[in-house]
Amino acid sequence: MDKDYINDGSLSEKWKYRFSFYDQHGFPGFWKVSPEYKQAFKALKLRQRLTIQINFIAFFFSWIYLFVLGLWKKAIIVILLGIVAIFIGALIGVNILGLVVAAYVGVNTNKWFYEKEVKGINTWSL
Protein backbone atom coordinates (compact mmCIF):
# COMPACT_ATOMS: atom_id res chain seq x y z
CA MET A 1 0.00 0.00 0.00
CA ASP A 2 2.27 2.78 -1.23
CA LYS A 3 0.93 6.30 -0.78
CA ASP A 4 1.54 9.07 -3.31
CA TYR A 5 3.61 11.28 -1.02
CA ILE A 6 4.82 13.60 -3.82
CA ASN A 7 1.37 15.18 -4.17
CA ASP A 8 0.69 15.22 -0.41
CA GLY A 9 0.44 18.85 0.69
CA SER A 10 0.82 17.96 4.36
CA LEU A 11 4.45 16.83 3.91
CA SER A 12 7.33 19.29 3.72
CA GLU A 13 9.87 19.20 0.91
CA LYS A 14 12.44 17.76 3.32
CA TRP A 15 10.20 14.75 4.03
CA LYS A 16 9.49 14.29 0.33
CA TYR A 17 13.25 14.36 -0.36
CA ARG A 18 13.89 11.71 2.30
CA PHE A 19 11.03 9.55 1.07
CA SER A 20 12.18 9.66 -2.57
CA PHE A 21 15.73 8.73 -1.51
CA TYR A 22 14.38 5.75 0.45
CA ASP A 23 12.17 4.73 -2.50
CA GLN A 24 15.13 4.74 -4.88
CA HIS A 25 17.87 3.30 -2.66
CA GLY A 26 16.19 1.57 0.29
CA PHE A 27 17.18 1.81 3.95
CA PRO A 28 20.57 1.27 5.52
CA GLY A 29 20.72 -2.09 7.27
CA PHE A 30 21.49 -2.41 10.96
CA TRP A 31 24.83 -4.18 10.44
CA LYS A 32 25.69 -3.24 6.88
CA VAL A 33 24.44 -1.20 3.96
CA SER A 34 23.72 -2.29 0.42
CA PRO A 35 26.29 -1.20 -2.18
CA GLU A 36 23.61 0.79 -4.04
CA TYR A 37 22.67 2.74 -0.90
CA LYS A 38 26.32 3.31 -0.02
CA GLN A 39 27.13 4.69 -3.48
CA ALA A 40 24.08 6.98 -3.55
CA PHE A 41 24.79 8.20 -0.01
CA LYS A 42 28.42 9.00 -0.84
CA ALA A 43 27.28 11.09 -3.82
CA LEU A 44 25.32 13.43 -1.54
CA LYS A 45 26.62 16.65 -0.03
CA LEU A 46 27.12 16.82 3.76
CA ARG A 47 23.85 18.64 4.45
CA GLN A 48 21.91 16.16 2.30
CA ARG A 49 23.59 13.25 4.10
CA LEU A 50 22.54 14.64 7.46
CA THR A 51 18.99 15.13 6.19
CA ILE A 52 18.82 11.47 5.17
CA GLN A 53 20.78 10.03 8.09
CA ILE A 54 19.47 11.75 11.23
CA ASN A 55 16.49 13.75 12.39
CA PHE A 56 17.80 16.36 14.83
CA ILE A 57 14.33 17.32 16.09
CA ALA A 58 13.75 13.67 17.01
CA PHE A 59 17.17 13.53 18.68
CA PHE A 60 16.40 16.45 20.98
CA PHE A 61 12.66 15.89 21.55
CA SER A 62 12.47 12.09 21.03
CA TRP A 63 9.10 10.82 22.24
CA ILE A 64 7.36 14.21 21.98
CA TYR A 65 8.24 14.48 18.29
CA LEU A 66 7.13 10.90 17.69
CA PHE A 67 3.71 11.80 19.12
CA VAL A 68 3.59 14.87 16.84
CA LEU A 69 4.33 12.68 13.80
CA GLY A 70 1.58 10.26 14.79
CA LEU A 71 4.00 7.52 15.79
CA TRP A 72 2.38 7.15 19.20
CA LYS A 73 3.11 3.43 19.54
CA LYS A 74 6.81 4.02 19.10
CA ALA A 75 6.64 7.06 21.42
CA ILE A 76 5.24 4.91 24.23
CA ILE A 77 7.98 2.33 23.74
CA VAL A 78 10.64 5.09 23.70
CA ILE A 79 9.28 6.50 26.98
CA LEU A 80 9.48 3.06 28.58
CA LEU A 81 12.93 2.47 27.12
CA GLY A 82 14.07 5.84 28.45
CA ILE A 83 12.83 5.00 31.94
CA VAL A 84 14.64 1.66 31.83
CA ALA A 85 17.81 3.38 30.54
CA ILE A 86 17.73 5.91 33.38
CA PHE A 87 17.14 3.17 35.95
CA ILE A 88 19.94 0.95 34.62
CA GLY A 89 22.23 3.96 34.27
CA ALA A 90 21.63 4.88 37.90
CA LEU A 91 22.34 1.31 39.02
CA ILE A 92 25.64 0.95 37.19
CA GLY A 93 26.70 4.58 37.31
CA VAL A 94 26.60 5.20 33.55
CA ASN A 95 24.45 8.23 32.79
CA ILE A 96 24.95 8.20 29.02
CA LEU A 97 22.30 5.54 28.31
CA GLY A 98 19.60 8.20 27.85
CA LEU A 99 21.75 9.79 25.16
CA VAL A 100 22.05 6.42 23.44
CA VAL A 101 18.24 6.12 23.36
CA ALA A 102 17.94 9.67 21.96
CA ALA A 103 20.53 8.91 19.26
CA TYR A 104 18.71 5.71 18.29
CA VAL A 105 15.44 7.62 17.96
CA GLY A 106 17.12 10.41 15.97
CA VAL A 107 18.62 7.97 13.49
CA ASN A 108 15.47 5.85 13.03
CA THR A 109 12.65 8.42 13.03
CA ASN A 110 12.94 9.12 9.29
CA LYS A 111 12.60 5.41 8.53
CA TRP A 112 9.68 4.98 10.92
CA PHE A 113 7.79 7.95 9.47
CA TYR A 114 8.43 6.71 5.92
CA GLU A 115 7.03 3.30 6.86
CA LYS A 116 3.94 4.92 8.40
CA GLU A 117 3.22 7.46 5.67
CA VAL A 118 4.23 5.58 2.52
CA LYS A 119 4.01 1.88 3.35
CA GLY A 120 1.20 2.07 5.90
CA ILE A 121 3.23 0.20 8.55
CA ASN A 122 2.80 1.46 12.11
CA THR A 123 3.90 -1.22 14.57
CA TRP A 124 5.06 -1.30 18.17
CA SER A 125 8.55 -2.47 17.23
CA LEU A 126 11.55 -0.18 17.27
What span, in angstroms and rounded, lies between the C-alpha atoms of 98 and 101? 5
pLDDT digits (tens), the chain, 126 positions: 566 777 777 788 999 999 999 989 888 877 788 888 889 999 999 999 999 999 999 999 999 999 999 999 999 999 999 999 999 999 998 888 889 999 999 999 999 999 999 888 889 988
This prediction has a pTM of: 0.88
Q: Which of 83, 81, 61 is nearest to 125 (CA)?
A: 81
| For the chain, domain boundaries | 11-53, 56-126
In tens, the pLDDT along 85-95 reads: 999 999 998 88
Q: Residues 75, 59: contact at Cβ < 8 Å?
A: no
Is the CA virtual torsion 30, 37, 51, 66 positive or negative?
negative
